[in-house]
């Protein structure tokens, strides 16, 4: 499962997972973004603004072995509930803030691993470039703005309406 689909990094992770033929589920606070992800190959999606989303996710998926999260925040502990024994969570951001409560009992009962990451090694970067080229993966562009509309571009990003990268054309 990849959280926060619609953001640029989440979409890259999503595209890689789909290219690996993984069964990918996603989360978002937007039903429209969930629908777009399904069109691009997601098996299913869950709107984290709905109170019962974790129950729906467990019922539909049976639990997750890998979660890629860029948000952190208060909802992070809910991800532990969704993990199967031996599952792994990779976290690389904190758009929702620090993680306030972490139920450690789930970490050891389910033997969950949490991996923080920012970047890989040079060799991993080169392998990623080879993978992108061999699978013809292209970034998903939400919208291109002329440079004189930078304020509109920033507003779109601040509102979280984008699905993919927002590009500024500086010509």
Q: Express each pLDDT in 83-97 by its tens digit.
A: 999 999 999 878 888
Domains of the chain: 8-139 (3.40.50.720), 140-171 (no CATH)
Outline where DSSP puts E strands in the chain.
Answer: 25-28, 44-47, 64-69, 83-91, 113-116, 141-146, 165-169
- Global pTM value: 0.89
Identify the pLDDT of residue 101.
85
Which tens digit of pLDDT belongs to each residue from 10-34? 999 999 999 999 999 999 999 999 9
Which tens digit of pLDDT belongs to each residue from 147-171? 999 999 999 999 888 999 999 999 8
């Amino acid at each position: 499962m990849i959280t926060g689909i619609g953001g640029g990094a989440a979409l890259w992770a999503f595209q890689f997972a789909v290219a690996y033929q993984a069964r990918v589920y996603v989360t978002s606070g937007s039903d429209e973004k969930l629908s777009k992800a399904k069109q691009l190959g997601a098996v299913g999606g869950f709107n984290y603004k709905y109170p019962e989303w974790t129950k729906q996710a467990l019922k539909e998926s049976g639990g997750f072995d890998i979660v890629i999260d860029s948000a952190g925040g208060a909802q992070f502990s809910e991800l532990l509930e969704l993990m199967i024994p031996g599952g792994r969570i990779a976290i690389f951001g904190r758009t929702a803030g620090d993680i306030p409560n972490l139920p450690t009992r789930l970490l050891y009962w389910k033997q969950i691993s949490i991996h923080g990451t920012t970047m890989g090694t040079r060799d991993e970067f080169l392998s990623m470039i080879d993978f992108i080229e061999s699978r013809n993966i292209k970034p998903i562009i939400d919208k291109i703005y002329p440079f004189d509309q930078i304020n509109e571009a920033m507003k779109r990003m601040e509102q979280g309406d984008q699905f993919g990268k927002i590009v500024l054309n500086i010509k």
